[in-house]
Structure formats: structure tokens, C-alpha cells
Amino acid sequence: MQTSSHIFFPAKILLFGEYVIIHGGKGLAIPYPKYGGSLGMALPAEDTQTATSQTTIAQLCRYLQQITPHEWDFEAWLLDVQQGLYFGSNVPQGFGLGSSGALVAALYARYYLQKTTNIDQLKQILAQVESYFHGKSSGLDPLVSYLQCPVLITQNDTHSLATTAVSLHNEHYRWLLWDSGISRQTAPLVAIFQQQMTDPTFAERYHNELVPHNEACIAALLAQDSAALLQHVKALSQFQLAHFAAMIPAHLQSLWQKGIADDTYYFKLCGAGGGGFFLALQPASMQPFLGFERL
């Protein structure tokens, strides 16, 4: 039987909802098992990455002891820390794939005492833990990693979806992942967005354009309406290029614009942007691009 110390917890990809879920809008995230990790023991540490992970896990344990002393099996956790507990992961940090979320999911699975099946409660618990890394967390990243299935976020509720409900494989389009080669931090980018929201003109466009485009994209994907999905992702791509330039690396902006102009592909943010990975939706009739990873 597989123990929780050897369960693989996948990375996540936010297909839709970047900067919209901050203000209660809809989001759709999926697990991405090409990347992920699992807990293990190594004493002494085999390399710098393992040693850093061991330190992080020990510090997180002490942090949670102060704020939630009764919910976790700290005795077992600390004993494992003494035995060299670490999180072996290939999720790149600062690339928008939920590296800390996968770790939080693994720790919850192994050490949380009273696990819940209520998704909203689970998201709150996981958010509290991940706040150690980001200052504030929605809990979405570790939730997707823990459930290992697509998750739909709405204003008042969170739903897990069957894997078949979110089909990325279609005869009419293909999803691509593009690596910018640049790591980024989420908090400064969110701060830029929040400052934009103080501008009444931008806030109006956000509510009247971005939010409807985002919802239409999610609805089209779940309905497997290929034409509508391509149409609305193009509109989303245009909005993000026009208003989120700070979140798009300079060397990507011309490529982004060319795809829209030629209708050959449509880029969109994959989480906060600024670096890391970016998503692109491409009509299947177009030639696949070299250097892009197909989802």
C-alpha cells in the first residue's frame, strides 16, 4: 500500500481566472503531472536543493505550531524532520506551476489529523498553510494538487470536476505551454494589478470586458465548444496584451501580438505572469511551433 510519504502530488496550471479570482470571479485550474513531487527522507542531505527543502519544512512546522497547535501531528512531523524529511520536486519555483502548493498538499496528506471532505473547508486550511510562503493564499494551488483533479472556482463555492469534464485534447485546437525562462514573484505583480484597479476606467473595463471574457472561456471549454473557445481566448489575449503589459516580458510581446494578428495562436497569462510559463491556444489547422510544450 502506498504511504502518504510516497504519494506524488502534481503541479497545477491555472487555465482561466488570473487576476479575476482575486475579486471573486470564476477560475479553472487543472493538475499538471509532468511536474510535481513527494515527501522523502535523506540524511545527510544529498544536495543543496534537498537541504533547502529540509530547512523550509522544519521552519513551516514551527510556524504552524504557533498558529494551529492542535490540528497537526507535530510529534510525527518533528520526528520525520530529525530523519531528514524533504520534498523531492521537479516543479520550477517562480514559474506559476504551484511549487509551494504541491508541498503543502503533501504535508496536509501526511500530518493533518482531522482531514475534511468539504472542499471549501479544505481550501481554507490549505490557504492558511500556504500563506507562510506568499503572505496571502487562495488555497487553490494546494487544493488542485491534493485533489489531483480539475477545480472550478466560483464566487461562493468551489467544485472538483471529473477529469473528463476538462478536455485539453480536441481536433479543432491544441493547448501549448511556453517557457519564458524567467522566474518571477507573484506579490509585486498582484500589487501592480491592485493599483490598476484604483483607476475607474480600468476597473470598468475589468468588469465589463475581462470578467465576461474569462467566464465565456470557461463555459466554452466545459461545453467543448471549440469555435467559442477560440473566439473568447482571442479576446482575452487582446485584453491582456493591452492592459497587462507589465505582466508580459518584453521579448514575448511582439510574438503575442503576431499570433493575434495572424490568428495562428493566442497567448494568455498562466497565473500572475511576469515570467515563468505562459499558455497559448492554437487552432489545430496551424503548424505546431517549435519550442512550445503541448499540454
Give the domain CATH number at 210. 3.30.70.890
Residues 174 and 228 in one domain: yes
Cα distance between residue 126 and residue 108, in whole Å: 8
Instruction: Report the run of H or E that residue 32 belongs to, with start and end.
Output: strand 27-41
- 3-class DSSP state of 27: strand
The whole-number average pLDDT for the span 25-45 is: 93
Closest C-alpha to 186, from 129, 128, 278, 271: 271
Among 104, 136, 163, the domain boundary falls at 163
Q: 118 with 57, same domain?
A: yes
The total of structural domains in the chain comes to 2
Same domain, 147 and 173: no
What number of CA atoms fall less than 13 Å from residue 39's CA on the CB side?
22
Enter the DSSP assignment of 17.
-
Whether residue 96 has pLDDT greater than 80: yes
Whether the CB-CB separation of 210 and 20 falls below 8 Å is answered with yes
Look at residue 135 and tell me whether its pLDDT is greater than 80: no
Gap between the Cα atoms of 78 and 107, Å rounded:
12
Confidence class of residue 49 from pLDDT cuts 50, 70 and 90? very high
User: In the prediction, which pLDDT does 162 show?
Assistant: 76
Is residue 74 located within the same domain as residue 154?
A: yes
Q: Are residues 197 and 124 in the same domain?
A: no
What is the band of 290 on the pLDDT scale with cuts at 50, 70, 90?
Answer: low
Residue 281 belongs to domain spanning: 168-294
Q: Higher model confidence: residue 198 or residue 131?
A: 198
CB 267 within 8 Å of CB 236: no
Report the pLDDT value the prediction gives residue 5, as an integer from 0 to 100.
58
Three-state DSSP class for 153? strand
Q: Do 159 and 40 belong together in one domain?
A: yes
Q: With respect to residue 112, please indicate whether it lies within any of the assigned structural domains.
A: yes
Q: In whole numbers, what is the pLDDT of the chain averaged over residues?
A: 91
139 shares a domain with 36 = yes
CATH of residue 21's domain is 3.30.230.10
Per-residue model confidence (pLDDT) at position 158: 83
For residue 1, being part of any structural domain is answered with: no
DSSP letters spanning 17-72: -TTTGGGT--EEEEEEEEEEEEEEE-SS-SSHHHHHHHHHHHHHHHHHHHH-TTTB
Average pLDDT value for residue range 185-196: 90
Nearest CA among 80, 76, 90, 91 for reference residue 41: 80
pLDDT for res 1: 28
129 and 32 housed in the same domain: yes
And the C-alpha cell for 24? 471573486
**CB crowding 123-148: b at 16 or more within 10 Å, else e:** bebbbbbbbbbbeebbbbbbbbbbbb
What would the mean pLDDT of 174-186 be, rounded to a whole number?
90
Amino acid in the structure at residue 207: H
Comparison of pLDDT for 276 and 156, the residue scoring more: 276
Instruction: Tell me the pLDDT band of 166, cut-offs 50, 70 and 90.
Output: confident
Q: Is 4 part of a structural domain of the chain? A: no
CA distance linking residue 137 with residue 291, whole number of Å: 32
**pLDDT band at residue 193, thresholds of 50, 70 and 90?**
very high
Indicate if 158 and 15 belong to the same structural domain. yes
User: Does residue 117 sit in the same domain as residue 215?
Assistant: no
> Is residue 7 pLDDT above 70, yes or no?
yes
pLDDT digits (tens, 9 = 90+) for 201-258: 999 999 999 999 999 999 999 999 999 999 999 999 999 999 999 999 999 999 999 9
- Both 116 and 204 in one domain: the answer is no
- pLDDT of residue 34 exceeding 90, the answer is yes
pLDDT at residue 176 in the model: 92
Q: Note the pLDDT of residue 2.
A: 36
Asked if the structure places residue 255 within a domain, the reply is yes
Amino acid at 227: A
pLDDT at 4 over 60: no
Amino acid occupying residue 24: G
Phi-psi region of 38 (alpha: psi -120 to 50; beta: other; left: phi over 0): beta
SS3 282: strand
Residue 266 has pLDDT above 80, yes or no: yes
Cβ pair 72, 64 in contact under 8 A = yes
- In this structure, are 172 and 220 located in the same domain? yes
Among candidate residues 124, 146, 163, the one where a domain is terminated: 163
